Structure 1
Amino acid sequence: MRIPLKISDGKLAPSEIITFDGLDDGREHLMVVFGDALTQSVPLVRLHSECLTGDVLGSTRCDCGPQLREAMTLMHDKGGLLLYLRQEGRDIGLYNKIDAYALQDTGMDTFEANRALNFLDDQRTYSSAAQMLVTMGLKEIEILSNNPEKIRQLEAGGITVHRQRRTAVHLTEANRKYLQAKAMYAGHSIEID
């Protein structure tokens, strides 16, 4: 299905949205195709986990919304594939993420809060993302991400990641501790200071 999407500078970005059936996690993930990405030998790909608070409501506690807008703008200009994955709150769910926010207000970082709620630091898996890419005949990509785990899991799923393009650091005073925790606990490629 073709849908024009509004990107951060207000331009309309023509795109195609592809849905999948039979993914290993049984969820409703989307692939948004910008430009001629499906015919590129090594397309730019962003795996983006759903974040209602950041993507839709504009929360400054994370960098999800700015990363999503950055990816869409870049892909509108160069072509690319945005895999929008239904994995709210590093896959703990929306209500649990709100509970984690409350714990963060007491001084915990995002990973400590997840642990206090009896979740792993990051519960996401990316095997469905690899399935989506393989289904579209793609086995070689450039990834737009600061997260080394995405690369590791995609490669385990049969995808060759030729290059990693880092996202910008979308720092606010509200997300500084969050970004520091992602770099410290999960090895994200983030330079804050």
Structure 2
Amino acid sequence: MDKVQCEIVGLSSSPATGGAYAILLKEIDGNRRLPIIIGQFEAQAIALEMEGIKPPRPLTHDLLKNLIDNLGGTVVEVVVNELRENTFYAKIVLDVSGLTNEVDARPSDAIALAVRADAPIYVTESVMEAASFIPTDEIDSEIQKTFEEEQSSSEKLPKSKEAQIAALHEKLREAIEKEEYERAAKIRDDIKKLTQSN
């Protein structure tokens, strides 16, 4: 399974999504970003740990980490390994007494645990290809140039596939910046359809 190591670069909320939050992952050795919609509780759990704030009583993810530690286990890594019908799936990889175990989890819970265990976060290449985007300032300049030339052309020629993808990436970036996550999800799906068609 090809996987890409990622880091958390942002966590934001949007009133338009009914209290949902989005966590933004970035591949460590690349430019792609992956937004994942998560719940308020999980967002709070991730934010508290990232800020170094310890609640007076352990939260659920703290309890899970303490339980793993007390059983002599370690969190090896977490992997966002699948995207089905616009829902992300993840696995927590544990090492207990020299045996590797994989546990299914929601990405938000897996990431909240990874932050506490200082474990690496991975995303499979297939998920990155399907749902990630590249911020506008990092899109290949040739694709951007093609798009701009076609936009300025007075003729109504159909855009190239690359130009359409570049335009959708720009719209996706704007939607995420404005915290319009439902719109961002639809644009992401459009990009996926376009990249898979030939």
TM-score (norm 1): 0.23
Which of the pair is proportionally richer in strand?
A: 2
The structure number with the bigger radius of gyration is: 2
TM-score (norm 2): 0.23
